[in-house]
Amino acid sequence: MSSVYVARATEIAARALGGEMMIMSARDSTLFTLNEVATTIWQAADGRTPLSQIVESKVCAEFEVAPEEALKDAESFVQELAGHGILLVSDQPIPEETR
C-alpha cells in the first residue's frame, strides 16, 4: 500500500485543538481525535504526495519512529479513515476536483 496517494475528503468537519485534530465524518457522524502523528499525516494528505513520502519526509523527520513501523501504522490509519469517508485513497494522484 506504500505507493498510494491520500487526500482529505471535503464532506467532513475538522478543527485543530492544541496540536491534535478533531474530525467528524458527514457520512456516518463518526468523530475522530487525531494525535500529533496522525494530524501530521492528515495535514500532508494533499492527493499529490504518496503516503510513503509523507511518512518519510514528515512523520520520520518530526517524530522518533522507525520508517517501517511508521509506514505500517500510517497505512492502518489511512484505511480506517477512508472507511469512514474522511480520507480518499488511490493508486494514482487524486485531482482536487474529485475530492
- What pLDDT sits at residue 1? 47
Cα–Cα distance, 29 to 20 (Å, whole number) = 19
Element (H, E) at 60: helix 60-62
pLDDT tens, per residue, the chain with 99 residues: 448 999 999 989 999 988 789 999 888 888 999 999 999 999 999 999 999 999 999 999 999 999 999 999 999 999 999 999 999 999 999 998 777
Q: At what angle do helices 67-83 and 36-44 cross, to 10 degrees?
A: 70
Q: What is the topology classification, in CATH, of domain 5-85?
A: Outer Surface Protein A; domain 3 (3.90.930)
Q: What is the residue extent of each domain of the chain?
A: 5-85
